[in-house]
């Protein structure tokens, strides 16, 4: 099928929005908005600038919810509560421009490590609340697998599957670059067919470098064949640091995915 490449860059969240025009000029079909910094959708000034920029281009949009300083598995109730509210607020705002929102799971804090079962319970309860909001606004809130960073939840597909099971408003974002750092890469292959959203970028397997496609050690010929055979959605989000990386990645994408 014909995939539509979108570009996302969390490293740009404090920069002037004019950089987004480079996404269209590079040849992308859409922009995944990293809804943090100057791109928070709950800030009316920023929201208006985003809408005006989208309207003045041919770009479509998806959204990545904020994650800095948030923890959906926090045992500190106030932190847990505000983390849920921020994701739900992002969903309500994002629903006006997209039907797909990606968000991160929580993580084990210093004292949370002493009661891991409670941490997983809190994460599940958070997803139940987020699911209600996603259903209310008619969108899919997609939980993303995490890279090999200590204490992050959902580094393997079975944790992702277990947490999202039975929640109508919750989907899954499979991040190929993240999976490559964890040792679980091949375990994610069967889950590509169930993915509601897809992120791709490259690295050398040791850390989450977010390199242009083809600049690391991911075997893209194999990955592209798997995605082409099993991924049922149109949008594939390429993540990178800047427009130069976007251009390199798009050329590689066009080689392997079209």
**Contact indicator for 9, 242 with CB cutoff of 8 Å:** yes
Provide the token pair at 57. 């281009």
54-57: long-range contacts, CB 8 A cutoff, minimum separation 24: 54/97, 57/20, 57/21, 57/23, 57/24
Q: Give the whole-angstrom CA distance, residue 200 versus residue 216.
A: 12
Residue with tokens 């992050």: 152
pLDDT at 258: 80
Q: Please, what is the angle between helix 116-137 and helix 157-164, to 10°? A: 60
CATH of 4-257, one of 3.30.360.10, 3.40.570.10, 3.20.20.150, 3.40.50.20: 3.20.20.150
Question: Residue 197: enclosing H or E segment and its boundaries?
Answer: strand 197-200
Provide the token pair at 97. 């421009």
pTM: predicted TM-score of the whole model, two decimal places: 0.97
pLDDT at 130: 98
Give CA 122 to chain center in angstroms.
Answer: 21
pLDDT at 1: 57
DSSP states along 141-157: EEEEPP-S-TTBS--SH
Q: Give the whole-angstrom CA distance, residue 90 versus residue 76.
A: 22
- 3-state SS assignment for residue 239: strand
pLDDT at 154: 98
DSSP-assigned letter for residue 57: S
Q: Give the whole-angstrom CA distance, residue 199 versus residue 235.
A: 9
pLDDT for 220-249, tens place per residue? 999 999 999 999 999 999 999 999 999 999
| Three-point CA angle 154, 158, 161, nearest 5° | 85
Q: Give the whole-angstrom CA distance, residue 47 versus residue 54.
A: 11
Q: Where are the domains of the chain?
A: 4-257
Ranges of the chain whose pLDDT falls below 70:
1
pLDDT at 152: 98
């Amino acid at each position: 099928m014909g995939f539509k490449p979108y570009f996302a860059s969390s490293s740009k969240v404090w920069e002037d929005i004019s950089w987004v025009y480079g996404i269209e000029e590079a040849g992308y079909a859409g922009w995944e908005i990293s809804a943090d910094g100057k791109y928070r959708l709950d800030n009316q000034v920023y929201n208006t600038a985003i809408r005006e920029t989208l309207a003045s281009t041919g770009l479509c949009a998806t959204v990545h919810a904020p994650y800095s300083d948030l923890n959906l598995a926090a045992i500190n109730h106030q932190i847990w509560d505000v983390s849920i509210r921020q994701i739900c607020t992002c969903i309500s705002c994002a629903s006006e421009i997209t039907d797909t929102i990606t968000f991160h799971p929580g993580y084990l804090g210093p004292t949370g490590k002493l009661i891991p079962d409670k941490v997983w319970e809190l994460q599940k309860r958070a997803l139940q609340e987020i699911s209600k909001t996603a259903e209310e606004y008619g969108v899919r809130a997609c939980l993303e697998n995490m890279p090999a960073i200590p204490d992050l939840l959902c580094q393997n597909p079975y944790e992702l599957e277990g947490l999202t099971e039975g929640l109508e408003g919750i989907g899954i974002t499979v991040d190929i670059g993240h999976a490559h750092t964890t040792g679980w890469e091949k375990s994610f292959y069967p889950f590509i067919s169930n993915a509601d959203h897809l992120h791709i970028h490259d690295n050398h397997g040791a850390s989450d470098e977010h390199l242009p496609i083809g600049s690391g050690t991911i075997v893209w010929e194999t990955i592209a064949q798997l995605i082409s055979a099993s991924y049922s959605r149109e949008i594939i989000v390429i993540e990178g640091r800047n427009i130069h990386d976007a251009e390199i990645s798009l050329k590689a994408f066009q080689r392997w995915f079209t």
